[in-house]
């Protein structure tokens, strides 16, 4: 018989994402509603190892649903990759009687959770919290909607100045391995081209399209480039300047503004639903899964199936980009 979960820990790990606080709030309050003791673990797995763990009450999560970042702080923790590190983490949890953990993070954090739950008898539930949306098995991740809307707002502003000066802007958005933010924000801002890591960049094609546009005096152009795209926004800017000398080119790197800010309604909603579902999983004995939303239904995917999702750039979507920006 599965053992009963009575005390749970919650942590945020890996890259931060807006909406993590809403997820923490949902875990804490659903846990307390169900008469569980809930503990906050600071700085991801580091807090498990350092015993930086504290009891949380309903009031601990008051007034945080709208706040970006994470009140539990997050970290990348090298020691958790080692068996000694994980042993220490287990001993700390065990001493407090914590017998279930909710991990809010990306696929890396899920891998850590999976290894830990295989070694020790502490069930782990993952909640996908990453602005990159690159986890297979869920249509959405906590933070993506906010990040992409921040990118859209910023790109709209850049377009105003691009338009005033007849300039070409190359805008780098986040996404080291994945092009979701670039693809979504690019389409939503009417970008002339979108370059992502999942698709080989045809520099010649990009330049030729600009030359054609330049010929018919379409001088205001926005190219959205994901951070992990092979060529890079700066390099692309240099090539274009060389090939089309009378086109003014500027490069803007949006950077970390995409991680911060108050989460959108959508992110607060999925974080709340997922946080609630995580505690339900622990209560019902559905262990070592991560929570996903597919076609608006909750899904529970074994942690060992957590893999990075690759954005397949559909040719239809590229056609839309081309036609709508012509
Ligand atoms: P994300 O969760 O955002 O993908 P990372 O890949 O950096 O971020 O992972 C976050 C943390 O999860 C790591 O710093 C480490 O503590 C833990 N982790 C990741 N992969 C493993 C692994 N293979 N074994 C043990 N711990 C891991």
Report pLDDT for 15.
95
Task: Read off φ and ψ for residue 169, nearest 5 degrees.
Answer: -115, 135
Q: Whose CA is nearest to atom 13 of ligand 1?
A: 76
Residue range 68-80, pLDDT digits in tens: 999 999 999 999 9
CATH number attached to the domain at 7-143+263-306: 3.40.50.450
Mean predicted confidence (pLDDT) in 31-55 = 98
Q: Whose CA is nearest to atom 12 of ligand 1?
A: 109
Active-site residues, by number, are: 132
Question: How far is residue 261's CA from residue 241's CA, in Å, rounded to a whole number?
Answer: 34
Question: How far is residue 184's CA from residue 171's CA, in Å, rounded to a whole number?
Answer: 14
- Closest CA relative to residue 149, chosen from 110, 197, 117, 181: 181
Tell me which residues have their CB closer than 6 angstroms to ligand 1: 13-15, 45, 76-77, 80-81, 105-109, 111-112, 115, 130
Is the pLDDT at 105 greater than 90? The verdict is: yes
Same fold: 7-143+263-306 with 147-259: yes
Residue range 113-139, pLDDT digits in tens: 999 999 999 999 999 999 999 898 899
- Report CA(7)–ligand 1 centroid distance (Å): 24
The rounded percent of the chain whose pLDDT value lies above 90 is 86
Query: C-alpha dihedral over 111, 16, 293, 37, to 10 degrees?
Result: 80
Structural domain boundaries of the chain? 7-143+263-306, 147-259
Report pLDDT for 285.
96
Q: How far apart are the first and last CA of the chain?
A: 63
Pocket test for ligand 1, best of 49, 90, 112 (most atoms within 8 A of CB): 112
CA 43, 44, 49, 53 torsion: positive or negative?
positive
- Report CA(193)–ligand 1 centroid distance (Å): 33
- Report CA(141)–ligand 1 centroid distance (Å): 17
Hey, what CATH class is 147-259 in?
alpha beta
CB 198 within 8 A of CB 317: no
Q: Which is higher by pLDDT, 170 or 304?
A: 170
- Report CA(108)–ligand 1 centroid distance (Å): 4
């Amino acid at each position: 018989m599965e053992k009963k979960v009575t005390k749970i820990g919650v942590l945020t790990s890996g890259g931060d994402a807006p909406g993590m606080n809403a997820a923490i709030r949902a875990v804490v309050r659903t846990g307390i509603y169900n008469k569980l003791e809930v503990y906050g673990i600071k700085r991801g797995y580091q807090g498990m190892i350092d015993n930086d763990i504290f009891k949380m009450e309903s009031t601990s999560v008051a007034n945080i649903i709208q706040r970006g970042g994470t009140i539990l702080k997050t970290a990348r923790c090298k020691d958790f990759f080692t068996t000694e590190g994980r042993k220490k983490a287990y001993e700390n949890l065990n001493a407090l009687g914590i017998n279930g953990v909710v991990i809010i993070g990306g696929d890396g954090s899920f891998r850590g959770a999976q290894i830990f739950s295989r070694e020790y008898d502490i069930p782990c539930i993952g909640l996908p919290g990453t602005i990159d949306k690159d986890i297979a098995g869920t249509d959405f991740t906590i933070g993506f909607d906010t990040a992409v809307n921040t990118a859209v707002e910023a790109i709209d502003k850049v377009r105003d100045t691009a338009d005033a000066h007849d300039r070409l802007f190359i805008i780098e958005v986040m996404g080291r391995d994945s092009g979701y933010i670039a693809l979504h924000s690019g389409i939503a801002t009417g970008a002339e081209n979108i370059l992502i890591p999942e698709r080989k960049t045809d520099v010649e094609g990009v330049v030729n399209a600009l030359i054609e546009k330049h010929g018919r005096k379409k001088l205001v152009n926005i190219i959205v480039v994901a951070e992990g795209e092979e060529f890079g926004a700066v390099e692309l800017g240099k090539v274009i300047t060389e090939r089309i000398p009378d086109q003014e080119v500027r490069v803007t790197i949006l950077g970390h503004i995409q991680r911060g800010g108050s989460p959108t309604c959508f992110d607060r909603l999925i974080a709340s639903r997922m946080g609630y579902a995580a505690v339900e999983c622990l209560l019902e004995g559905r262990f070592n899964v991560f929570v996903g939303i597919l076609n608006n239904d909750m899904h529970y995917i074994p942690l060992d199936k957590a893999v990075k999702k690759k954005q397949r750039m559909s040719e239809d979507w590229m056609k839309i980009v081309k036609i709508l920006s012509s």
